[in-house]
Amino acid sequence: MNKILKILVITFISLSALFYFRDYILILAIKIFYQKNYHGEKLPLPRIDIAQLTELSDYVKNKYRTPEEYVVSKFMDHDIIFIGERHRIKHDAELIQSLIPVLYENGIYNLGMEFAIYKDQLLIDSLLSAKEYSQETANTILFNWSELWGYQEYTDIFKSAWQLNRSVPGEKRKFRIVGLNIPQNTGNDDDVMTKVIMKEFMNRNEKALIYCGMHHAFTAYKYPILENGKFSHFFDHRVGNMVYKQIGDRAITICFHYPWGTSDGSNYPIDGIIDTLMKTIPKEYQRAGFDTRSTPFGDLPATNTIYRYGYDKFTLKDFCDGYIFQKPLSQYQGVTTIKNFINRKNIKEARKRFSNYSFKFIFDNFGTVFWNYAISMDADLRGEFPKYK
């Protein structure tokens, strides 16, 4: 009897230990069998004809503007500017932070964000007008959009606006961030964001910078839909497309530099021409914003990307109106995961909202340690970016 009891106790302790350490065991398994760093050869960059290289280089140097200066300058002729990112790139979110005081100094008082919901607008307004900044409130705003978006650089956008507003005296107009979205995966976010932009900005004759994923930011460009690897039709129901249909060239798209999708993964954008160029010009000109329309950059072709399908001669000017280059792809870093973004207070709600049915069993049955690790894994660039020069 004592032996049976002893076996039961040992079994109970073992199972309890496995349950307690289940998150760490799963994370270790993922690191061993799934999460791989890239150790292959660097993707080659193209050689550029010296005449073309000189033309592009001269344009950057003669028309040089920092990314901040460039974005603000476009508001001279446009009302709604979409600035599109790949997502989870540290310096892209940091640029939005640094843009806020520059926008304000130039009479632009609004930033619309994909990464917050419109129902939280009172909460956002209260955060930006509070006497003390609340990191917890900023975390809640991100969580209410997506339970998997716990990244410091995105919450710091709210902090940048809060710091600016604290420096604005008295009743003088303050800077505003508008949450454009609905909770992730709960409906047609493009339709909702379009309605909010029209209501909050266009109907009030306000100018605004719209910060979102690049595929939401398309205005004139139409995204190709492929079937069996061949072009089928264009999709033009993104928020940028719909705003563009209503206000025309008063809305434009600025694209951050990021790898473009191909049929078998990703590669340098614009066939690597911009990356090659930026390695040849003086360092003080490498962090820059520039036009694509009616410039030497506009006619740069892109042949190795899914974006080209459906276009006879796809070039950069078909894709976007402006472009921002900050550093080579090999130097990119992912955003910083917020410690304990998922915690005992919100994990029940996180599980309830998680909608990826392929992984729902895992996320329903593992704890906060695993959830936070999964968030950090989405921002880990080591599996792809080391392949770039």
The DSSP line for 122-143 is HHHHHHHH-SS--HHHHHHHHH
Q: What is the pLDDT of residues 78-102, one digit of tens each?
A: 999 999 999 999 999 999 999 999 9
- Class for domain 50-331, per CATH? alpha beta
Confirm if 160 and 94 have CB atoms less than 8 A apart: no
Q: CA 318 to CA 164: how far, in whole Å?
A: 36
Q: CA 309 to CA 227: how far, in whole Å?
A: 11
- Whole-model pTM: value is 0.94
Give the mean pLDDT of 151-158: 98
Q: What is the pLDDT of residue 3?
A: 61
Q: Is 19 exposed, middle or buried (0-12, 13-18, 19+ CB in 10 A)?
A: exposed
The DSSP line for 346-382 is THHHHHHH---TTTHHHHHHS-HHHHHHHHHHHT--T
Instruction: Identify the DSSP state of 217.
Output: H
Out of 125-134, 144-153, 241-250, 350-359, pick the least confident.
Answer: 350-359
Could you give the dihedral angle defined by the CA atoms of residues 372, 91, 262 and 289, in that order, rounded to the nearest 10 degrees? 160
Q: CA 259 to CA 270: how far, in whole Å?
A: 9
Q: What is the pLDDT of residue 5?
A: 47
Strand 208-213 to strand 176-181: parallel, antiparallel, or no bridges (unpaired)?
A: unpaired
Give the mean pLDDT of 154-180: 97
Task: Using the predicted structure, report yes or no on whether residue 307 has a pLDDT greater than 50.
Answer: yes
Q: What is the pLDDT of residue 16?
A: 47
Q: What is the pLDDT of residue 299?
A: 96
Of 200, 216, 246, 253, nearest to 78 by C-alpha is 253
Q: What is the pLDDT of residue 7?
A: 53
Region of 71 on the Ramachandran plot (φ > 0 left; ψ -120 to 50 alpha; else beta): alpha
Confirm if 90 and 334 have CB atoms less than 8 A apart: yes
Confirm if 291 and 300 have CB atoms less than 8 A apart: no
Q: What is the pLDDT of residues 105-146, one digit of tens each?
A: 999 999 999 999 999 999 999 999 999 999 999 999 999 999
Query: CB atoms < 10 A from the CB of 78, how many?
Result: 16
Task: Using the predicted structure, report yes or no on whether residue 266 has a pLDDT greater than 70.
Answer: yes
Which of the two residues, 157 and 186, has the higher pLDDT score?
157
Of 85, 387, 378, nearest to 257 by C-alpha is 85
Q: Is 41 exposed, middle or buried (0-12, 13-18, 19+ CB in 10 A)?
A: exposed
Confirm if 244 and 237 have CB atoms less than 8 A apart: no
Confirm if 322 and 291 have CB atoms less than 8 A apart: yes
Residues 6 or more apart whose Cβ sits within 8 Å of residue 205? none
Give 13's pLDDT tier (boundaries 50, 70, 90). Answer: very low
Mean pLDDT, rounded, of the chain: 93
Positive or negative, the CA dihedral 251, 256, 257, 260 is negative
Distances in Å between the alpha carbon of 205 and those of 79, 250, 319? 8, 12, 27
Give the mean pLDDT of 285-312: 96
Q: What is the pLDDT of residues 214-230, one digit of tens each?
A: 999 999 999 999 999 89
